[in-house]
Amino acid sequence: MTLHIDIPEETMSGILAKAFRNTAFVTGFVITVLILAMALVSYVWTPYDVTKLVIADKTQGPSLAHWFGTDHFGRDILSMIMVGARNSIAVALVAVGIGMGVGVPLGAFAAARGGLIDEALMRVNDLVFAFPALLSAIMITAIFGPGAVNAIIAIGIFNIPVFARVARAGALAIWPREFILAARAAGKSRTQISIEHVLPNIATLLLVQGTIQFALGILAEAGLSYLGLGAQPPMPSWGRMLFDAQTRMVVAPWMAIFPGMAIVITVLGLNLLGDGIADILDPKSRRQR
Amino acid sequence: MSLLEIENLSLTIGDTQILKGMELSVAPGEVMGLVGESGSGKSMTALTVMRLLPYAARASGRVSFDGIDILAATEDQMCALRGDDVGMVFQEPMTALNPVKTIGEQVAEGIRWHTKATRAGAEERARRMLDRVGLPQAKFPLSRYPHELSGGQRQRVVIAIACALKPKLLIADEPTTALDVVLQAQILDLLRDLVAESRMGLLLISHDLAVVTEMADRITILRRGEVMEAGDTARTLSEQLHPYTRQLAQASTHVPARARPHDTSQGKPLLQVEGVTRDYPGRRTSLFKRAVPIRAVDDVSLSMQPGQSVALVGRSGCGKSTLARMILALDKPSSGAIRFRGETTTGKSEAELKPARRDMQVVFQDPYGSFDPRQKVEKLVAEPLHVLDKKPTRAERREMVAHALHEVGLDQRDMDKYPHEFSGGQRQRLSIARAIITRPKLVVADEPVSALDVSIRAQILDLFAELNQKLGIAYLFITHDLTVARAITDQVLVMHDGKIVERGKTNEVLDHPQSEAAKALVAAAPDLHRAIARRMQEQG
Amino acid sequence: MTAYLLKRLAISLATLVLASIVVFAVLEILPGDPARLMLGMNASADQVELLRNQMGLNAPLLLRYLHWAGGLLSLDFGRSYTYSVPVIDLVRERLAVSLPLALIALALSTVIAIPVGLFSASRRGRAGDTISMGAAQLGVAVPNFWFALMLIYVFAVWLRLVPAGGFPGWSAGIWPALKSLLLPAVALALPQAAILARVTRSALIEVLNEDYIRTARAKGLPYRAVLWRHALRNAMIPVLTILGLQFAFLLAGTIIIENVFYLPGLGRLVFQAITQRDLIVVESVVMLLVAAVIAVNLVVDLSYAVVDPRLRSRQ
């Protein structure tokens, strides 16, 4: 795979001005901030206590008291969505952190060294890619027991080869540049060059991939907890809420609709954010026909 | 009557004015040269005639081709014109062909589209056209893919596509800029013959005054979207009435004032290259045969004295850049030894190379690619200070950078800017500042001016000459451009197929070349004075 | 060309062998004794030991791996602990549900995505592009199992057009069987189609900015002809890459979707086997899926060579 990287030559203020004119970026940014804020607010305030079961209020439709209705234990769906956001974000974010933290250095190292090390690393990557990620995540959580931490590990492991591949491809596109040759002529070591010149120039690429993996992480976490392998009750999670809703679709469709919308909006926001960043920083995205 | 008539053409892209009141005409069978520096709008003129402008472009004025109002024509009318009555050749042959289609398909496609010929008929014509442009059936069957061809061969295919239907007008936008001088001469000859054969009008766009002078009957000089001067080539260039014309002509043939070279016979050599060879693993032709290595540099020996300025000239792919990299210890020779200041650099570790690195620096061709866009000038110019034993303090570092910037004619306040805030010529000055900051004994410059406009190039050559005198730096100039070699070097080495085939004093070698390779280079090199003289003679 | 083919083939085989070692090793270190699991908690230590010997669990590690891998090659996957039938029979039965499901979904996704991508790329920046890419953006964000729930609500609960779940079996006739696979296939396909449409569009747009597109237009070909004749084929490589990845995703995606629709497919089988610690089934199905992914990647690699002549002449 070859990758062409155009390095934008702009100042920070120029980039910011462009960012605010980019609809995708602004929309994505606003959604992401709102979801993050919702998760943070849930630590200090939720409309109702999500650990208290009020059987008298069970499976009520949306109303002024309960905007998104209640579940089969009488818990407020809105409150559960707010608390569930914490879990989704934490799992996906840490998983991205694992992927970046391990994958990027590996990919950059492979690109810097080339040869056998590179080949070996890429073969290991192929190997991991051969296992359907969701299947392996299910295996990992099933083996080590369900729970948020194991979900993080399972999703994080599969982020590693993704970031390694992106970092390697990006770094390989930077290495033949003349400014790298100039740095080598100045006696800089490969590690120094990787840190000083290569990584800053592939940072945007990694940022964009980061938002994509973040969004995929949210989806994966929802899938795992839907199967009962993510966060465990009584901790609310979006996927688990959908599982509980499934058998009650006929009587309480709101139990499925609202948590699902929460997932869709969060993922949409992150994807828009990533698209926006890529758009702003990629000079090739000029309109042309 | 003119074939192409451009009157009062203005063009804007977004908010940028590209052309202002542009005027130009091409008569049938005439070669019109359109000359200008980068950003003058010459390529956009061509794209306007083809109506292949970028999305946001707006053109006003009048462009008429063969009685058709181009700016008012429908897209269908334009499609009927393009490739049939107007053909176009582009600058970059490496990317101008579709990599997944054979050359036969690509040449035949336009023929079929316009003439409704059968596949066999179109292929037959494509075959004849490829033969005509110098790609005979035996070596270049229609089934070849572009990646199997060299740059010069690909440009021939592009020309075949453009001329397949014998257009009335051929537009060639810098058709030889990406090629070396020998290929350039061949392609220009081909264009000249094709135009003469079928009385095509040719609009030849180039930044190179010498090339245009050799080719064009009339010339139009463009600057920042406006026509400076237009008229008969020989008269315009011999009289040089317009100051900008004079400026361009002088810059094209500029030779920096240099004192006589240092006496180079005595003393210890600065650089010795002894029997250096570099092999690259070749492509395997079959799974069971071992790959034959490609020999990029073949048993090269040379030596340089301190303060000497040497040119290494040769066609593209002759191995000169590989040799330069080995001298800079950025690549390892397969065999042979390189000694710098008497010490061997081959086979040394990066740490052991530090003292040597201090005394040799590099200037690259591309003023845009040779700076990390994410760092400020201070850090970029100071990068070689890394090899000093004693790390300078921040204040010392700024002091040194300021001094280096001053030496190359830049302001010391420039050190807090990013590279993109500088023009191409200024960046090449930055590049030189970076190279001289450690006070090296040797600077290797790989085509340092070939990406620059002529007027800027003259200034940079002056700067090189000045620093050579002032600091006593030895230069190794790697170039395919003989005017650069002539302008700034004392000695010249001619390289061909990995070997040095001729060496001697620059003037002697360039005036009386002995080897075939040197003769070919000299014969092909465009020369403005020679071209004007020939034009004058032809016209009596 | 042959060198390229052989190299890809060798890499695929090596990956397959490595994958089998990984699967074997992972299940080897798992807690829980399969013999104990089969016999239940009341069995005596002697009984367990006897069964362990019968099952070959006491043989040296390498021997057991070779025996297992040899079994895989001859399609002898062993017997399921929980179902007490040969694994191959289970797999065959379940594959009859999962494979058609994945194939229908893949076909559906391709048939929707590629025309949408082409349409969008050819009217870049216009209303049609904005609308279809907005829809694609939304499609990418929808979790397929939630989309499945919504489909069930609308088409099964509300409109009563199709069954809400379950599978009548192919013996019940082609139409009823297909009908029960329809919603699951749509639920799997639409989010994938959204991804594929976006990739198709951006690959096309990237190619449309290439120099050779300008050469083609300078020949007099209209925009549409250039799009079909020159851009599409060059844009195929990223599209093929994504198609290959999607196949793997669809195979795994069936795990969740089959659970939503109560389909007796491979995904549901492996999920149940994991929770029941039926390791023989788990390793067999995982190996099968991994082999399928590797095979599809190989096919994708080979199709690159068909699309791109530059790969054919490279080693």
A11 to chain B, closest Cα gap in Å: 8
Question: Per-residue pLDDT averaged across B306-320, rounded?
Answer: 91
Q: For residues C49 and B51, which has the higher predicted lDDT (pLDDT)?
A: B51
Give chain B's contact residues with C (Cβ, < 8 Å).
50, 52, 75-76, 79-84, 87-88, 90, 92, 95-101, 106, 109-110, 113-114, 145, 147-148, 158, 161-162, 283-284, 286-287
Residue carrying structure tokens 């790959």 = B291
State the ipTM, two decimals. Answer: 0.85
- Give the H or E element holding residue B280: strand B271-280
Q: Is the pLDDT of residue B285 over 70?
A: no
C165 to chain B, closest Cα gap in Å: 47
- Does residue B432 sit within a domain? yes
Distance CA C217, CA B88 (A): 10
Give the pLDDT score at A8. Answer: 54
Q: Total domain count for chain B? A: 2
Residues 6+ apart with CB under 8 A from A43: A86
Closest CA to A238 of B135, B345, C143, B332: C143
Give the pLDDT score at B258. Answer: 75
Shared domain for B297 and B408, answered yes or no, is: yes
C-alpha C58: how far from its chain's center?
35
Distance CA C140, CA C124 (A): 20
Which of C219, C223, C233 would best serve as a mutation to test chain B binding (most B beta carbons within 10 A)? Answer: C219
Note the pLDDT tens digit of each residue in A219-264.
999 998 998 888 888 888 999 999 988 888 888 889 999 999 999 9
Q: Is the pLDDT of residue C200 over 90?
A: yes
Shared domain for B339 and B483, answered yes or no, is: yes
Note the pLDDT tens digit of each residue in C279-301.
788 888 888 889 988 998 899 88
pLDDT band at B456 (very low <50, low <70, confident <90, very high): confident
Shared domain for B310 and B364, answered yes or no, is: yes
Count of alpha carbons within 13 Å of A103, Cβ hemisphere only? 27
Give the pLDDT score at A10. Answer: 60
- Does residue B539 sit within a domain? no
pLDDT band at B475 (very low <50, low <70, confident <90, very high): very high
- Does residue B533 sit within a domain? no
Note the pLDDT tens digit of each residue in C217-272.
999 999 889 998 999 989 988 898 888 888 877 877 788 899 889 999 888 888 88
Q: Inspect the interface and report whether the beta carbons of B81 and C234 lie closer than 8 Å.
A: no
The four Cα atoms A173, A174, A177, A183 give a dihedral, to 10 degrees, of -150
Tell me which chain A residues have a C-beta less than 8 angstroms from the C-beta of B54.
288-289
Q: Is the pLDDT of residue B347 over 80?
A: yes
Rounded mean pLDDT of chain C?
Answer: 86
Share of chain A above pLDDT 90, in %: 40
Domains plus CATH for chain C?
A: 32-74 (no CATH), 87-313 (1.10.3720.10)
B222 within 8 A of B228, measured Cβ to Cβ = yes
Give the pLDDT score at B370. Answer: 86
Closest CA to C214 of B97, B160, B86: B97
- Does residue B534 sit within a domain? no
Shared domain for B33 and B139, answered yes or no, is: yes
Closest CA to A232 of A155, A150, A134: A150
Distance CA A14, CA B373 (A): 15
Give the pLDDT score at C247. Answer: 83
What CATH class is the domain A20-284? mainly alpha
Q: What is the pTM (predicted TM-score) of this model?
A: 0.85
Share of chain B above pLDDT 70, in %: 96
Q: Which of A4-13, B116-125, B221-230, C81-90 has the lowest mean pLDDT?
A: A4-13
- Does residue B483 sit within a domain? yes
Note the pLDDT tens digit of each residue in B28-60.
999 999 999 888 999 999 999 999 988 788 999
Q: Which of residues 69-108 of C touch A (CB under 8 A)?
A: none
Give the pLDDT score at B283. Answer: 67
Residues 6+ apart with CB under 8 A from A15: A8, A280, A281
How many CB atoms lie under 10 A from the CB of residue C231? Answer: 26
- Does residue B536 sit within a domain? no
Rounded mean pLDDT of chain B?
Answer: 90
Which of A135, A211, A246 would best serve as a mutation to test chain C binding (most C beta carbons within 10 A)? Answer: A135
- Does residue B424 sit within a domain? yes
From the number of C-beta atoms within 10 Å of its C-beta (0-12, 13-18, 19+), residue B298 rates as: middle
Note the pLDDT tens digit of each residue in B155-213.
999 999 999 999 999 999 999 988 888 899 999 999 999 999 989 999 999 999 999 99
- Does residue B265 sit within a domain? no
Q: How far apart, in Å, are the Cα atoms of A254 and each of A54, A133, A238, C157?
A: 18, 30, 13, 14
Residue B430: domain span: 271-526
Give the pLDDT score at B193. Answer: 93
Of B90, B110, B287, nearest to C220 by CB-CB distance is B110
Q: Which of B122-126, B332-336, C155-159 has the lowest mean pLDDT?
A: C155-159
Question: Per-residue pLDDT averaged across A117-146, rounded?
Answer: 84
Distance CA C306, CA A166 (A): 25
Of C6, C309, C315, nearest to B100 by CB-CB distance is C309
Q: Is the pLDDT of residue A2 over 90?
A: no
Q: B383 CB near a chain A CB, below 8 Å?
A: yes
Please report all neighbours of B, defined by 3+ CB atom pairs within 8 A. A, C
A95 to chain B, closest Cα gap in Å: 29
Residue carrying structure tokens 């997932």 = A263
Q: Is the pLDDT of residue A1 over 50?
A: no
From the number of C-beta atoms within 10 Å of its C-beta (0-12, 13-18, 19+), residue B455 rates as: middle
pLDDT band at C312 (very low <50, low <70, confident <90, very high): confident
Give the pLDDT score at B56. Answer: 81
Shared domain for B232 and B336, answered yes or no, is: no
The CATH number assigned to the domain holding B28 equals 3.40.50.300
pLDDT band at B288 (very low <50, low <70, confident <90, very high): low
